[in-house]
Amino acid sequence: MSADDLPHELIEGFGVRAAYPVSGGDIARAYRLETADGPLFLKWRPESTPDLFAREAAGLRALYAHRGDLGVPEVLRETGVGLVLEWIESGAPSPSTESDFGIGLARLHRTVGDRFGSLDGALAGYLGSVEVDLKPTDDWAEFFVHRRVIPLIERGIALGVVSGEARGLIERLAPRADELCGPPEPPSLVHGDLWAGNRMVGVGGRSWLIDPAAHWASREIDLAMMTLFGGFGRKCFTAYDEEFPLADGWRERLRWYQLPPLLVHAILFGGGYGRSAVDVLRHYAR
């Protein structure tokens, strides 16, 4: 692909010689840019949702600042329609990749903020391309139930991809939010969308974090997403718990914290995700 076909404001000054499409998810077009100084990664969405890339860039910069031994691509340019990032060369896992990732994620989660929600004062962010409320608050249970789960349920019902039964179930569960969300902990810096596709393994078996929906939250949010679709080994969770022990009952809360990604997937893709979300609500409403 010719560089002339890409947005000038994104590639200007990089000396792009050629661009090759690569896999990059469902939200944006992705390219490997060949330059005199080596390859770069470009994400581009011609008709971008307002602030979509600004929020991703803010998350990447926050994770980069506290990455420790984890890899996080450096943001080289951000515009309203895309990002240019450091290129990550894929590699094979090493025998210590899973345990190293668990330790690295635990250390990242030790980065704490003052309030739950936005990293930088933004009022909204995104899970995938679905807008979510990020207004800061001191109350994690209120944030999770009333600013995340209930709005996603209502949107899913309006689109016909979530059963109206979900509304009654969450109304029954909301008064128990403090119990269901687990023991209080300080707001942790979380990736926010940590499925296996957003953890890349690079050269030497090092793990890299990409495509974040980063915010201040319960650290169990990341653990729940990691277990929703699989892709992370037992050694990862064992190493995490040894480095930064999790509160009692965390495994019983995993399905509760899987509600937002299930609802977002229902909104974006339909299918059985809405039914799965209702099944989770029924489980906790017993």
Are the C-beta atoms of 235 and 257 separated by less than 8 Å? no
Whole-prediction pTM value?
Answer: 0.95
144 and 64 part of one domain: no
* Kind plus residue range of the DSSP H or E element containing 130: strand 130-133
Identity of the residue numbered 108:
L
pLDDT in the model for residue 181? 98
112 and 58 part of one domain: no
Which CATH number goes with the domain that contains 146? 3.90.1200.10
Distance from C-alpha of 236 to C-alpha of 101, rounded to nearest angstrom: 6
pLDDT in the model for residue 160? 97
Distance from C-alpha of 110 to C-alpha of 142, rounded to nearest angstrom: 22
127 and 262 part of one domain: yes
Are the C-beta atoms of 178 and 79 separated by less than 8 Å? no
pLDDT in the model for residue 25? 60
Last residue of a domain, one of 86, 108, 128: 86
pLDDT in the model for residue 253? 98
- Domain membership flag for residue 91: no
Distance from C-alpha of 183 to C-alpha of 256, rounded to nearest angstrom: 14
Which CATH number goes with the domain that contains 66? 3.30.200.20
Backbone phi and psi for residue 59, each to the nearest 5 degrees, phi listed first: -65, -45
- Domain membership flag for residue 92: no
Q: Which residues of the chain have pLDDT under 70?
A: 1-2, 24-26
Q: So which residues are the catalytic ones?
A: 193
Domain that holds residue 182: 97-285
**What's the helix, strand, coil split of the chain in %, to 5?**
45, 20, 35
Count CB atoms within 10 A of the CB of residue 173: 18
